[in-house]
Chain A
Amino acid sequence: MKKLLLGNEAVAAGLYEAGVKVVSSYPGTPSTEVTEFAAKYDEIYCEWAPNEKVAMEVAFGAAVAGARAFCAQKHVGLNVAADPLFTASYTGVNAGMVILVADDPGMHSSQNEQDSRHYAQASKIMMLEPSDSDECLKFIKLAFELSERFDTPVILRETTRIAHSRSLAETGERVEPDNKEYTKNPQKYVMAPANAKVKHIVVEQRILDQTAFAEKEAVEIGLNKVEYYSKKIGVITAGVCYDYAKEALGDKASYLKLGCLYPLPVQLIKDFAAQCETVYVIEELDDYIETHCLKNGINVRGKADFTLIGEYSQSLIAKVVLGEEKPTIKADIDIPVRPPVLCAGCPHRGLFYALKKAGVETVTGDIGCYTLGASKPIGMIDTCLCMGASVSSLHGRNKANPEKANKTVAVIGDSTFIHSGVTGLINIAYNKSNSVSIILDNSITGMTGHQQNPTTGYTIKGDPTSAVSLEKLAVAVGIPESNIFVCDPYNLTDSEQAVRKALDCDGPAVVISRRPCALLKYVKHNPPLSVDKEKCVGCKMCMRIGCPAISIKDGKAQIDSTQCLGCDVCSQLCKPGAIG
């Protein structure tokens, strides 16, 4: 039956139909919903892992044991999982294993714009890329067949516009495969040098076999697709760029749509290019297909006409290829930007203010909603690199600049801390660092849309489970118990005191700023606050915390009752006591 499915929802439907039994992932926009939707099927064992490396190894273990298995991550998550990725290429699988990676051209919700197609080439692992939800569903099923046939993990690559677009997809029934038998085979599964040397030869032969598949069979089954219309223009493309090119050029061009991105065919591209007058490679991010064409002596136009930066679109393609632009109208006013902000009632806000009050000058930040603490008027975050880097780089800073250690802290969320902050904290304790790490424990993985994690006490299916005690974990890694402080970020005095005490400690210290995300359904809110206009002196102290519910009208503060959650942080700043 045809349904209007989000790309990620269609992938989950494909997992169900393919008889997948084990799914393990770490959330990351735009990949998160695949695992959330997969968790709705009772037939699939589904979990959130502490990080992408663990998730991929869980999937690997399940596949080798004989059950079809899957893990999903965003592009930067694949960096974390790169270690198992490269060697799983050598061992191969038993039952099928598919790895989803979601790239984010245009960086809607990411810290870089890396092109994961390079991972397929570098790890020598087959990669497929769909162009709409129907292909998400079909390709994920095909990926499992190819994984088993070629004895390799297979990567399914999405980009944001495929992952987060809804289009029609044909759904079907689940085919429940029996587990494949596992037999001991150290030559295959133990990648010590002697075995790995043999396996590398197998991998190179596999690429030759897969290239032959990409040349012919992939065309027969519609994975690689040739469409001839006008041969004046030829377009070699893949993924969402195929959609953009079709909309921009219609039957003014012919198309070679590549569904198999690694390995790429050679003869198929040569034959297509030979039929067309001018051939464009249209691909977002790097010149991956273009380089392959040029290396094989195929004359194509690509990045010299297009760009390495950001998303493509039908209008970009129409402009570059046809020189056409659509007429537009414009409002003749200056429109202020509207970047995202910390929500009204966000517990991070109070902690950031406490840092300021405690005289903190430098804050190493991490990946999560609290990155927004870099924006004005809070403006506290100095760095944001990757998951866990706040804690580890704080240690580096403090070793380089020990005299500033009592003015410098790291902030990291609960989920990010478990993901890879804890290893940095072990380093701090082990290497005797005088560093203050602050865990912003909002009891959920927030920015990706509320996923459970090992600190929350619930699984992805909502079942109660053990919860990591952050206090005990800190003690266990070597932080003295007397150097661990817990505060409620809604209480500014309490939070400031906790930060001051931690900064005054001799040796490493940890502050746990604990208050659940205000958007969690179980969190009860206080009635909205309001401003007593008589008492308000217009000092704008309440504006310093950057709460979207507060604004100034006619020189006095006002609070938007539809947004205010009554967190009371602003009223603690109001000296005349006008807010209540």
Chain B
Amino acid sequence: MNKSVMIVGVGGQGTLLASRILGAVLLKKGYNVKLSEVHGMSQRGGSVVTYVKYGDEIASPIIEKGEADIILAFEQLEAARWLEYMKPDGKVIVNTQKIDPMSVVIGDAVYPDGVIDAIKAAGADVLELDALPVAVEAGSPKAVNVVLIGAMAKHTGIEKETWLEAVRECVPAKFLDLNIKAFELGYNI
């Protein structure tokens, strides 16, 4: 059975590292894996998405509307933006952090109220968490990505030790302790 995970957020939040950790875990489990990411101009503070697909045989590297089993959202508006890409019975794991798009900052648009309620009202199974203070507790606000990976890990049926091995492989040695702590805190939410 093939599975699909979308990691969505705002350029600069570290979604690529999160997808790399997930990819490493899936390889360790012997799955066939395809990951698709977008580089270049869209990284600069724009809406970013990474597709991760795994199973016996994966054809397309991208996830389309109605296909994702899990959406891991680093920011609430991005969770709402990409919700259509989730299967109606999929799970949204959403960081409740809000980052204003430039259109909101300059007053051309408003950041809607009740984003998470709207996602729930659409019928989605939602796990919400405030990852920023957790990352700060781990030692750096930049560890939000690993906190979120930790939170998702618990819902994948893949044992924690494999995840920890992947974190060790994917993060620079000097930030290892911080990231392990961030993962543990996320996992235990």
Interface residues of chain A, those whose CB is within 8 Å of chain B, are 4, 29-30, 32-33, 108-109, 132, 160-161, 164-168, 240, 243-244, 246-248, 313-315, 325-343, 369, 371-372, 375-377, 447-449, 543, 546, 548, 550-552, 562-563
In the assembled complex, which residues on chain B have CB atoms less than 8 Å from the CB atom of A160? 38
A546-B39 contact given A167-B58, A246-B60, CB 8 Å threshold? no
In the assembled complex, which residues on chain A have CB atoms less than 8 Å from the CB atom of B80? 331, 333, 335
Q: Do B105 and A550 touch across chains, with their CB atoms under 8 A apart?
A: yes
Flag the segment in B62-70, B149-157, B174-182 that touches A: B62-70
Q: How far is the CA of A329 from the CA of B91 in the complex (A)?
A: 12
Task: For A33, give the chain B residue with the smallest CB separation.
Answer: B39
A165-B83 contact given A326-B66, A340-B11, A343-B45, CB 8 Å threshold? no
Q: Do B102 and A548 touch across chains, with their CB atoms under 8 A apart?
A: yes
Can you name 27 A-B pairs with beta carbons within 8 Å?
A: A4-B24, A29-B41, A161-B62, A164-B39, A165-B35, A165-B37, A166-B37, A167-B33, A240-B61, A315-B66, A328-B66, A329-B86, A329-B88, A333-B118, A335-B80, A336-B77, A336-B108, A336-B109, A336-B112, A338-B10, A338-B81, A339-B46, A369-B44, A447-B40, A548-B102, A550-B105, A551-B104
A341-B86 contact given A4-B35, A164-B39, A313-B60, CB 8 Å threshold? no
Count of chain B residues with Cβ under 8 Å from any Cβ of A? 64
Q: State which of A33, A329, A343 has its C-beta within 8 Å of the C-beta of B83.
A: A329
Q: A125 to nearest B CB, angstroms?
A: 27
In the assembled complex, which residues on chain B have CB atoms less than 8 Å from the CB atom of A161? 36, 61-62
Q: State which of B23, B39, B115 has its C-beta within 8 Å of the C-beta of A166.
A: B23
Q: How far is the CA of A7 from the CA of B80 in the complex (A)?
A: 30
Q: Do A330 and B23 touch across chains, with their CB atoms under 8 A apart?
A: no
In the assembled complex, which residues on chain A have CB atoms less than 8 Å from the CB atom of B137? none
In the assembled complex, which residues on chain B have CB atoms less than 8 Å from the CB atom of A168? 32-33
Task: For B119, give the chain A residue with the smallest CB separation.
Answer: A331
Q: Do A340 and B122 touch across chains, with their CB atoms under 8 A apart?
A: no
Q: State which of B10, B100, B102, B112 has its C-beta within 8 Å of the C-beta of A376.
A: B102
Q: Do A336 and B103 touch across chains, with their CB atoms under 8 A apart?
A: yes
Q: Is B110 in contact with chain A by the CB < 8 A criterion?
A: yes
Q: Is B173 in contact with chain A by the CB < 8 A criterion?
A: no
Task: For A329, give the chain B residue with the smallest CB separation.
Answer: B122
In the assembled complex, which residues on chain A have CB atoms less than 8 Å from the CB atom of B36? 161, 164-166
Q: A214 to nearest B CB, angstroms?
A: 24
Contact with A along B117-149 (1 / 0, CB 8 A): 011011110000000000000000110000000
Q: Do A377 and B62 touch across chains, with their CB atoms under 8 A apart?
A: no
In the assembled complex, which residues on chain A have CB atoms less than 8 Å from the CB atom of B45? 338, 340-343, 548
Task: For B110, give the chain A residue with the smallest CB separation.
Answer: A336
